[in-house]
Amino acid sequence: MKMGGEIERFMKVWISTIISLSYCYYIVSRIPKGFLRLLSLLPILCLFFMLPLYLSSPTLVGTISFFLWLATFKLLLFSFNQGPLATSPQNILLFISIASLPIIPKQHPPTKQNHTTNKPKWLFPLKLLLFAMIIRVHDYKQNLHPNLLLPIYCCHVYLSLELLLIFIGAMIRTVLGFEIESQFNEPYLSTSLQDFWGHRWNLMVSHLLRPTVYNPTRSMLSSFVNLSCATSAAILVTFLVSGLMHELIYYYLTRVTPTWEVTCFFVLHGVCMVVEVVAKKVASHREWQLHGVVSGPLVIFFLAITANWLFFPQLLRNGMDTKTTEEYALLIKFFKSNLSLQVL
């Protein structure tokens, strides 16, 4: 693959996205909220579904499809004057940044005096080092036992996402000067599925699926069934939507007929979360509580086993792990060659 041509196409996709969001800022924002605004957004939403097909690099496809997925849900909320775009950012740069990047500004950012973090300073360099080691280990995966590959794949997905989002967050703070909501909260410390999906893993998605899928479904169903059933159904629908969106991203990456494995992964976790919520209610009435030292490893084990069963197979069958690691080397080589030319 020629990275120069692929990066050129990537830039064209971004330019198309910026033009589309400019239309949303200057024209759509003037349309009254509701059905008419949603109707005016439909061409943009359709375009966002098509743009990832213009690329072939797994790394770039995965990045742009994830960003546009989030942008789609932000625009859906915007059509009803909700979500991070509803407050009408002061200028077009803020609007485009918030819409196109995986960020949500903090409503009440902490001041410099009270802005603290509980994370040790050595944690980020450690994650960066681990990610570099994982990329290197991929070169020797044929010599590793399959049971060792599972934690490597899990760490690869987690670290690649978190490091990318940390970089974007740092760039936003530097360029635009505002704080953004945290996007990962050390998911390996999860003590339950509810804790993992709701409070620790990829919180940007949770923040968007809650008002676009969970809340409307729960509100609508609560008119027909009791609140507990409505809540359970809303959880299942939310996980189903997440699964379908991941299925779409998998199609962008592999360009093969969907197998629905990743959708089943999320539906399974939705069912298990419903069971977990019910079990917690029963246990609380009887004053039972499973200690985090026990529940934490059980949750991580369950996540790893189900990911190995349903989340990773489609990617591995189509060689996405090999293609991705090869692309990292190509990207580094491409940027090095271009930087050296500029220096000369």
Average pLDDT over residues 65-80: 94
- Are 24 and 93 within one domain? yes
pLDDT in tens, 253-305: 999 999 999 999 999 999 999 999 988 888 776 667 777 788 899 999 999 99
- Are 94 and 128 within one domain? no
- Are 299 and 192 within one domain? yes
Residues constituting the chain: 344
- Are 302 and 211 within one domain? yes
| Residue labelled with tokens 């980020």 | 124
Q: Is the CB of residue 15 less than 8 Å from the CB of residue 47?
A: no
- Are 174 and 247 within one domain? no
User: In the listed set 146, 162, 179, which residue is the last one of a domain according to the structure?
Assistant: 179
Six token digits for residue 215: 């809340």
**pLDDT: which is higher, 171 or 27:** 27
Radius of gyration of the chain (CA): 21
pLDDT score, position 219: 94
Domain that holds residue 149: 120-179
- Are 194 and 135 within one domain? no
- Are 299 and 270 within one domain? yes
- Are 167 and 77 within one domain? no
**pLDDT: which is higher, 329 or 128:** 128
- Asked whether the predicted pLDDT for residue 1 surpasses 70, the reply is no
- Are 196 and 305 within one domain? yes
Residue 234 counted as domain residue: yes
Residue 328 counted as domain residue: no
pLDDT score, position 344: 47
How many Å apart are CA 178 and CA 167, to the nearest integer? 14
- Are 207 and 283 within one domain? yes
- Report the domain count for the chain: 3
Residue 295 counted as domain residue: yes
Q: Residue 180: beta bridge partners?
A: 105
287: left (phi over 0), alpha (psi -120 to 50) or beta: left
Residue 88 dihedral angles phi and psi, to the nearest 5° = 50, 80
Residue 231 counted as domain residue: yes
Q: What angle do CA 65, 70, 71 make, to 5 degrees?
A: 95
209: left (phi over 0), alpha (psi -120 to 50) or beta: alpha
Six token digits for residue 303: 């996540």
- Are 226 and 244 within one domain? yes
Residue 285 counted as domain residue: yes
Q: Is the CB of residue 308 less than 8 Å from the CB of residue 154?
A: no
The H-assigned helical ranges of 27-145 are: 35-50, 58-79, 92-100, 123-137
pLDDT score, position 146: 75
pLDDT score, position 243: 96
Average pLDDT over residues 14-32: 94
- Asked whether the predicted pLDDT for residue 111 surpasses 50, the reply is no
pLDDT in tens, 112-161: 433 434 678 888 889 999 988 888 887 777 777 777 888 888 888 899 88
Q: Is the CB of residue 239 less than 8 Å from the CB of residue 266?
A: yes
Residue 341 counted as domain residue: no
- Are 19 and 124 within one domain? no
**pLDDT: which is higher, 47 or 139:** 47
